[in-house]
A and B are shown apart, each in its own frame.
Chain A
Amino acid sequence: MSRFTAADVGFTTEDFAALLDKYDYHFSPGEIVAGTVFSVEPRGALIDIGAKTAAFLPLQEMSISRLEDPHEMLQPGETREFFILTEENEEGQLTLSIRRIEYMRAWERVRQLQKEDATVRSTIFATNRGGALVRIEGLRGFIPGSHISTRKPKEELVGEELPLKFLEVDEDRNRLVLSHRRALVERKMNKLEVGEVVVGTVRGIKPYGAFIDIGGVSGLLHISEISHDHVDTPHSVFNVNDEVKVMIIDLDAERGRISLSTKQLEPNPGDMIRDPKLVYEKAEEMAAKYREQLLAAKQGQAAEVPPEVVEEELEYAAAAVE
């Protein structure tokens, strides 16, 4: 306005009115504007955003979080950003929302975190039949039961803080799914290596294999990896709570899976079925041989095939080594 000095002769009140109209900012739904809290009332707040009439922010639009009292979110005189929810009504009043802004920014942050494959910590606030509920950046996240790795019964998990990784982030479908197992396995995997022998405890037996607890995370000893001889059911070799020695044959951080083998540790095919103790005694020795073979396979192939193929080939080799 400082441009209009006394030198601007001929600037009439009509011009002034026209100018005011021109600069009368039209607020459109979907925009984000700064505003100052004018007054806070039990059912909402009046906000000055520079419109002719103070805009209204209903209580339910104040936050993602449930508020008992609007003062938990707003104080008179405070300035912040608001989302314009609806056009002016007959009285010229706009309706505003903070909740929308919080959702947009929370999803944006969560997408960033997923992209980083970040580990976040959060406290379980409720459980249901399918799993547990947490808050991540203010959003409600779900951890499926199969992705919770703790020995505590599910009912006792409320209040427990867990490291978590993202499984699914989908704003359109309002789905935020997390995994405790992936966070744990990743941490554990950083310390584990393929070809390493670890001591574990049999935690569960399924028709397709045995789940072995190795220092807090669970690995699968598939039925086909128990012995070179045919195994009808893992029950014929293991009981729950058995202490076992197993070798790590695959680490899949993406899916949070650790694959184990006792087959590769057998000095003679079928030893696991006849005498597991013998297998455990010779485990380190057999594992050293396995690692040598793995290395030899790697070097042999590296000489013949382009490097990018080697990785893939090796995985097959690891799975097929007899």
Chain B
Amino acid sequence: MPKFALKALWLENDLAIAVDQVVAKNRSPLTHYFFWPRDDAWEQLKAELESKTWISEVDRIELLNRATELINYWQNGGRNRPISEAQAQFPDILIGGNS
């Protein structure tokens, strides 16, 4: 069972990504939102996760890889598709936002 999960928000011009810590069915916020492409969400997320030395490398890499997949999806037209489609593609990520 994963201990961490991403949370994302489709905004007008950006994708917002945050990390939650997951215990049982409970999601507890671990980070604030990081924005892409306005900011380099991926680099910022990496730095934030590295600063939390108690998070294992395996978990950190898994989260960053997932973030990469989401950013790629959003970048390659996903931003203009309905959120329900994105949600089906990434069932482990809580996706919100417009439309």
When distances are taken between beta carbons in the complex, the residues of chain B under 8 Å from A105 are 29-32
Indicate if B78 sits at the interface (CB-CB under 8 A): no
Tell me whether B3 and A71 are in contact (CB under 8 A).
no
Cβ A112 vs Cβ B32 within 8 A: yes
What is the CA–CA distance of A271 and B12 in the complex, to the nearest angstrom?
A: 43
Residue on A nearest B29 in the bound complex, by CB: A105
Asked if A71 contacts B24 (CB within 8 A), the reply is yes
Which among B3, B23, B24, B31 has the greatest number of chain A C-beta atoms within 10 A? Answer: B23
Chain A 73-85, CB-CB to B under 8 Å as 1, else 0, gives 1110011110000
Complex Cα–Cα for A65 and B25 (A): 12
Cβ A109 vs Cβ B96 within 8 A: no
- Check A72–B24 contact: CB distance below 8 A: yes
Q: How many residues of B contact A (CB 8 A)?
A: 25
List of A residues within 8 angstroms of B11 by Cβ: 116, 118
User: Which of chain B's residues have a CB closer than 8 A to the CB of A101?
Assistant: 28-29
Chain A 157-169 per-residue mask, 1 if CB under 8 angstroms from chain B, else 0: 0000001000000
B9 interface neighbour in A98, A113, A163, Cβ under 8 Å:
A113
7 new A-B contacts, CB < 8 A, other than A80-B54, A112-B33, A113-B16, are A102-B28, A109-B18, A109-B33, A116-B14, A118-B98, A120-B96, A138-B29
27 contacts between A and B (CB under 8 A): A34-B52, A34-B54, A71-B24, A72-B23, A72-B24, A74-B23, A75-B23, A75-B24, A78-B23, A81-B30, A81-B52, A101-B28, A101-B29, A102-B28, A106-B29, A109-B29, A109-B32, A112-B32, A112-B33, A113-B9, A113-B33, A116-B14, A118-B16, A118-B97, A119-B97, A120-B96, A163-B98
